[in-house]
């Protein structure tokens, strides 16, 4: 099949590369000429394990190509995916300007039947807006061309997106029209062999499913962080509580790890957008608002512990930070807890030296306006002379560190573990004061 992907960002590149890898001919389009030139020369704008190899292989074998020409892209694909960004606007609602601009562009050049597939995360009712924009342009042109609009939300986890696309839990297809069903079945057949993962539903339900999934996961995280804050205050250990509740199959162990808050391009944006959608109907989404409020506060949890230990005025104090990306196996810094913490600590007068395996360049750009932030190329180098170590992102490389080396490198032997990665007793045995999430501090006598 010939497939067009409009938008060559995270979702577009992963989708395009995976569809090409099973034999489709894919054309990825983007309005950014530098991005397209880089992709043509093999430079990938994002970090995602396995993506660079997938793009390189399929590009060299002629199944994956790139363009800035929307007319060419519309003419090329039997299926046209819209995979452009929907950033939050000032009130948290999803900004559809890029999605609707693509729809108008499609309407300006559409010449024969196409299936238009919304892959971007969009509010309920967006498919109708896309259809209206395309049809209005066809009317201006005075032509009659049939087309279908389908909702096909993505459920890709950053850091495991290739695996998620190739071996999906479910493939949600929203359509109020029978005509595109066969094309969608054919397109996803290679990913649907062991059992039928296709879930056909109406357009509005498909659009809501995406937001509902992310809001549910974000709710579990904020709920667990709320419990962690309670546990810490009553003297309980949230990690044993986690095991106690996770063993109940109705709850399970997924997404009940306490920490210093969630970030990324999905959970914060989607929870806010769903809340704004609810408000437009006159319904107050109390739980969704609470989920976001808990998460916002949780991003400051380590800062509060640092201030409790060292005082409000952190002038003259220097801290090491391990982990900058919002989660492991990505360089994504969008809404990352590390950014909030670093800004707050520097605002109190501290200086920071930070390390991350892949996100340093992104972090350097994001924090360019913050005085007192430097970056190191080695996790142990950033510790030298620091008053404490803050672990913010749970990269595998941080799970079994040389604790004696940490002790010897720090000026003050203190560790703040924002992901409960370290074993408290092992840390204490190395002569380090240890603060974590949802557990009492382990302090040296």
Would you name the residues annotated as active-site residues? 266
Interatomic CA distance for residues 399 and 125, integer angstroms: 44
Which residues, at least 6 apart from 317, have a Cβ–Cβ distance to it below 8 Å?
A: 310, 349, 350, 351, 387
Torsion on CA atoms 380, 383, 384, 387, rounded to nearest 10? -160
Tokens of 178: 């029978």
> From start to end of 253-324, where are the E strands?
318-322
DSSP 64-96: EEEES-HHHHHHH-SEEEE-----B-TTS-B--
Interatomic CA distance for residues 64 and 59, integer angstroms: 5
Other CB atoms within 10 Å distance of the CB of residue 374: 11
Q: Is 390 helix (H, G, I), strand (E, B) or coil?
A: strand
> Rounded to whole angstroms, what are the CA distances from 203 to 48, 104, 153, 177, 372?
30, 20, 11, 9, 49
Tokens of 352: 């920071």
Tokens of 380: 């142990």
């Amino acid at each position: 099949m010939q497939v067009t992907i409009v938008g060559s960002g995270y979702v577009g590149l992963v989708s395009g590369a995976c569809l090409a890898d099973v034999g489709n001919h894919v054309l990825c389009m983007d309005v950014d000429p530098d991005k397209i030139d880089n992709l043509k020369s093999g430079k990938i704008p994002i970090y995602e394990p396995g993506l660079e190899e997938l793009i390189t292989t399929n590009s060299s074998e002629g199944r994956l190509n790139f363009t800035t020409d929307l007319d060419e892209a519309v003419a090329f694909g039997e299926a046209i995916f819209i995979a452009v960004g929907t950033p939050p606007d000032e009130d948290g609602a999803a900004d559809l300007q890029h999605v609707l601009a693509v729809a108008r562009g499609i309407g300006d050049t559409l010449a024969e039947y196409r299936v238009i597939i919304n892959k971007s995360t969009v509010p309920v009712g967006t498919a109708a807006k896309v259809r209206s924009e395309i049809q209005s342009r066809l009317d201006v042109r005075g032509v009659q061309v049939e087309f279908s609009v389908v909702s096909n939300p993505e459920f890709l986890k950053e850091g495991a997106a290739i695996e998620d696309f190739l071996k999906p839990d479910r493939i949600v297809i929203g359509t109020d029209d029978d005509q595109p069903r066969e094309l969608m079945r054919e397109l996803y057949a290679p990913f649907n062999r062991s059992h039928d993962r296709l879930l056909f539903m109406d357009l509005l339900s498909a659009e809501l499913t995406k937001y509902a999934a992310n809001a549910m996961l974000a709710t579990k995280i904020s709920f667990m962080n709320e419990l962690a804050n309670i546990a810490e205050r009553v003297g309980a250990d949230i990690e044993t509580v986690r095991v106690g509740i996770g063993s109940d199959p109705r709850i399970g162990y997924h997404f009940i790890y306490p920490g210093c808050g969630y970030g990324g391009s999905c959970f914060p944006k989607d929870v806010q957008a769903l809340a704004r959608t609810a408000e437009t109907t006159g319904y107050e989404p109390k739980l969704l608002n609470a989920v976001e409020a808990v998460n916002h506060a949780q991003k400051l949890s380590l800062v509060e512990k640092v201030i409790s230990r060292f005082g409000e005025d952190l002038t003259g104090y220097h801290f090491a930070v391990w982990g900058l990306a919002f989660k492991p196996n990505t360089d994504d810094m969008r809404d990352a807890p590390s950014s909030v913490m670093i800004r707050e600590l520097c605002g109190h007068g501290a200086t920071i030296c930070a390390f991350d395996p892949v996100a340093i360049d992104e972090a350097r750009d994001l924090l360019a306006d913050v005085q007192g932030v430097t970056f190191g190329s080695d996790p142990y180098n950033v510790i030298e002379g620091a008053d404490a170590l803050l672990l913010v992102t749970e990269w595998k490389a941080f799970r079994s560190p040389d604790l004696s080396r940490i002790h010897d490198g720090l000026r003050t032997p203190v560790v703040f573990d924002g992901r409960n990665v370290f074993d408290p007793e092992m840390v204490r045995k190395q002569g380090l004061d240890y603060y974590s999430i949802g557990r009492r501090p382990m302090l040296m006598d």
